[in-house]
Chain A
């Protein structure tokens, strides 16, 4: 933690409502202003704060003035949701005007006014310009792959000789042996499902790779209880793809073909700024 953040934490009177800051600037994203000289952002920022553009040569920062950071333990999640969505709305508005931004993580706050922001941009100028140039014309898309394991189980015996053999032996066995064979059946079915999940994940990657400048596999960590699926589908993979915005339709068509061919479902979200692929800046 820097000296500034230690001082700010010590000054804070309401820790759950963020830290007090001196001449703070909440930073939404960095953009390339050269294609839209003099342009401004009309969207309102988090909690309706007026948003404006701070320019430093070929880099511009989209900011609003603030006296505190946002608390990491807000009184209700609804409030944090509103703040996060408003943050995204500003980033979207900046993308419309200036093209692909370098997006900041929510709650990135500078001290020291506009001079603090521009001083930092000067220090990091080449890296920021390099990032803006390399992401120009791209967008991030998120794809989740889902399948219905029940229909796979229903047809498993037709496809797998080992399962059929275990099933036949079960019919002829006594109670004790049938129980053990049932365990073998379940184990074999688990193996087949695991193989199929791996095949489908590979198929998803092959499908999107031709349109992807970069691809990153994500943790498949959103449990069904958090996002109930009406069709009881199981999420088996998530990927983030950085693609040219002109390839969006092609990416969608390729996903359509995957769904049709392999009987899976996909959730396709975007276009987002390159959150996953944005570099960390010193």
Chain B
């Protein structure tokens, strides 16, 4: 199987990850970092109602590029290795 980035579950996970994780910087010149876990929860509920991540139009380009690359990879494999 291949990992996905463009389904509803992936976007729910991404929001969860981005609002809670990633490097946190402790420095005087840093004004803020995300501190919004409660919003993360309501976002998950909102996004769960969406059909796909691409409703936001944010990952269509990524998806197109990814699929193009994947099919190019498939074409370069010998027939015995193709799925």
Question: A interface vs B, CB < 8 Å?
Answer: 2-5, 8, 18-19, 21, 24, 27, 30, 69, 72-74, 77-78, 80-82, 84-89, 92, 102-112, 116-117, 119-120, 123, 131, 141-142, 144, 222, 226-228, 248, 252, 255-256, 259, 266-272, 275-276, 278-282
Cβ contact within 8 Å between A227 and B3: no
Cβ contact within 8 Å between A3 and B28: yes
Q: Given A104-B22, A279-B23, A77–B39 Cβ distance below 8 Å?
A: yes
Cβ contact within 8 Å between B32 and A228: no
Cβ contact within 8 Å between B1 and A269: no
Q: Is B58 an interface residue, CB under 8 A from the partner?
A: yes
- Bound together, the chains give a CA A225 to CA B55 distance in angstroms of 21
Partner of A275, one of B21, B35, B45: B21
Chain B contact-residue range equals: 35 or more
A-B interface pairs (CB < 8 A), number? 182
A254 nearest CB neighbor, chain B only:
B1
Q: Given A78-B46, A106-B19, A282–B26 Cβ distance below 8 Å?
A: yes
- Bound together, the chains give a CA A108 to CA B22 distance in angstroms of 10
Beyond the given A227-B44, A256-B1, could you list 7 further A-B residue pairs with CB under 8 A, ordered by the A residue number?
A2-B27, A4-B30, A72-B34, A89-B58, A106-B34, A108-B30, A226-B48
Q: Is B42 an interface residue, CB under 8 A from the partner?
A: yes
A245 → B minimal CB distance (Å): 11
A73 → B minimal CB distance (Å): 7
Q: Given A141-B3, A226-B48, A256-B1, A103–B23 Cβ distance below 8 Å?
A: yes
Chain A residues, CB < 8 A from B59: 85, 89
Cβ contact within 8 Å between B5 and A269: yes
B4 nearest CB neighbor, chain A only:
A269
A72 nearest CB neighbor, chain B only:
B36
